Amino acid sequence: MRTLPRVPLISIVAGVATVLLTACGSPASNVSSASPTATASQRVTVVASTNVYGDIAKQIGGDKVEVVSIISDPSQDPHSFEANTQTQLQLTKAKVIIENGGGYDDFVDTMLKAAGSSAQVLNAVTVSGKTPVGGVLNEHIWYDFPSVGKLTDEIAGALSKADPTGASLYTANAAAFKDKLQTLQKQESEIATTAKGQGVLITEPVPLYMLEACGLVNRTPEKFSEAIEEGGDVSPRLLQETLALLTGKKVVALAYNEQTSGPETEKLKQAAQDNGVAVVPVTETMPQGKDYIGWMNGNLAALRTTVSR
C-alpha cells in the first residue's frame, strides 16, 4: 500500500530564523460563560500541527487551554513546511499534541522522538480509522466531518486527562461542537439531493471527502491528481485529457487548491473560467478571520451554488 506523503526531510539547524508560531485565536462561542478564566500557568498547553486542529482544540478547551498552531499561514503549502528548533521547543512544552498523520506532517513525529516528550499525541488519521483505497490514502481528514467528530471526542478526553478539573467543560464544549458538525453533515446531504452524481474536477484530493459527501463524483484522471500532489511531471497527453473535461463541460466545477498552484493547475483554472465551469477555491489551512465551522460553511455554500446552477 502507498500513501501520498510529500513532507520534506527536516533540517534542524541551531540559530535558524524562528518560525512564527501563532496561537489560534478563533472565538470559542460554545464555551460556558460561567467557566472561570484560567491563568497562564493553569492552562493546558496544546500544540497543533495546523491552525485547523488548533481552532478545534480552542473550541473545546476555551480559556482553559493555550493553543499554538505550527502552520497557520494560509498562503503556505503545508507539504513544504520546514520545522526548526523553535518548533521543537513548543512541542517539548506541550501537554497535548494534535497531528494529522498519514504522511502529512511527519515533522511532528520526527521532532517528538528527539524531544523526549511525555505529551498525549492525537493522530487524526489514526483516530478516523481511514485506510488506503487502492493503495492510496487521502490524508485530508479535516474535510471529513464524521472523522472530525471522532477527533473532537479524543481531544476532550485528552484535555480532561491533563486537567481533570475541567472535564465537564471539555465534554460540554465537545458536544456543542459536534452539534455544529451535524449541521454541516445535514447540509452535505441536502446538496447531494441536488448534485445527483454530477462530475467535478480536482487539482488535489484536499476536499474529496466533502465532495463525495455532497453527492459529487470525481472525474479527475487519477494520474493527474497524483502527479500534482506528489510534485511530479504531468505529460502533455494527460494534461490535454484533463483539460477536455472542462472544454467539453463534462464537469460542473473545478475544486482548486489555492495553496499549491502551478503551471498545470493554472491552465485548468483558466480553462474552467473560459468555458463557464465554476471554480471552487479550497485551502488546506484555515483562512484568516475564520474559525473551522465558518470556514466549512463557506465551502458548502460555494458547492451548493455550484450544483444549483
**CA nearest to 63, candidates 148, 159, 152:** 159
**CA nearest to 203, candidates 221, 222, 223, 228:** 228
pLDDT 10s digits, 221-260:
988 988 887 777 899 999 999 999 999 999 999 999 988 8
Which cell numbers in the block locate residue 72? Answer: 497557520
Note the pLDDT of residue 2. Answer: 38
Full set of structural domains in the chain with CATH: 44-184 (3.40.50.1980), 187-307 (3.40.50.1980)
Note the pLDDT of residue 222. Answer: 85
Which cell numbers in the block locate residue 80? Answer: 513544504
- Say what the pTM is: 0.85
Q: Is 135 exposed, middle or buried (0-12, 13-18, 19+ CB in 10 A)?
A: exposed
pLDDT 10s digits, 97-155:
999 999 999 999 989 888 778 999 999 999 999 999 888 899 999 999 999 999 999 99
DSSP run (H or E) holding 279: strand 278-282
Q: Choose from 55-64, 196-205, 257-266 the range with maximum mean pLDDT.
A: 55-64
Band of residue 73 on the pLDDT scale cut at 50, 70, 90:
confident
Concatenating the DSSP letter of every residue in 151-215 gives HHHHHHHHHHHH-GGGHHHHHHHHHHHHHHHHHHHHHHHHHHHHHTT-EEEESSSTTHHHHHHTT
Band of residue 38 on the pLDDT scale cut at 50, 70, 90:
low
Across 195-210, average pLDDT: 94
Band of residue 39 on the pLDDT scale cut at 50, 70, 90:
low
Bigger pLDDT: 228 or 307?
307
Note the pLDDT of residue 86. Answer: 86
51 touches 122 (CB < 8 A): no
